[in-house]
């Protein structure tokens, strides 16, 4: 019973609830995330972001470059209307993929973070 639970948890950690084909690139990224001890939630979010990036262009992420990254960021912000914080998470996943997994350090300058909107806190009224 304990072994089944452990195997199930391990499978969900690496593959998720749905069956996802484990490509060589996905396996490499998982190994890098594991080596750096990223949380399970971060691993899931990063893999989702990279999968969405690949699905948007119908190609493997390692075949995509700076132009596609720029177009994907525009798509997230302008068409999907995601908040900048959400886009920052997706950008972080792409940066991790290209810099840490694929070892393309030159891509760092092509993957900027969006400017986050900072709100001023209202000061409490003085009586």
Helices assigned H by DSSP within the chain: 2-15, 24-35, 40-57, 66-74, 84-95
**What pLDDT was estimated at residue 73?**
92
- CATH of residue 69's domain is 1.10.150.130
Asked if 97 and 50 touch (Cβ cutoff 8 Å), the reply is yes
**What pLDDT was estimated at residue 105?**
84
Residue range 3-29, pLDDT digits in tens: 444 444 444 545 555 555 678 999 999
Query: Does residue 14 lie within any of the structural domains?
Result: no
Query: Does residue 34 lie within any of the structural domains?
Result: yes
Total domains in the chain come to 1
Distance CA 65, CA 98 (A): 9
Return the higher-pLDDT residue of 54 and 118: 54
Residue range 28-73, pLDDT digits in tens: 999 999 999 999 999 999 999 999 999 999 999 989 988 999 999 9
| Whether the predicted model's global pTM rises above the 0.85 cut | no
Query: Does residue 3 lie within any of the structural domains?
Result: no
Query: Does residue 38 lie within any of the structural domains?
Result: yes
């Amino acid at each position: 019973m304990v072994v089944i639970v452990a195997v199930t948890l391990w499978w969900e950690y690496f593959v998720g609830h749905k069956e996802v084909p484990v490509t060589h690139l996905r396996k490499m990224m998982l190994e890098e995330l594991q080596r750096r001890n990223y949380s399970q939630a971060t691993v899931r979010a990063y893999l989702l972001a990279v999968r969405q990036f690949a699905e948007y262009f119908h190609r493997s992420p390692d075949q995509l470059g700076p132009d596609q990254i720029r177009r994907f960021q525009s798509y997230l912000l302008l068409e999907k209307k995601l908040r900048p914080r959400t886009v920052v998470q997706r950008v972080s996943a792409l940066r991790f993929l290209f810099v840490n997994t694929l070892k393309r350090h030159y891509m760092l300058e092509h993957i900027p973070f969006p400017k986050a909107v900072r709100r001023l806190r209202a000061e409490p009224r003085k009586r």
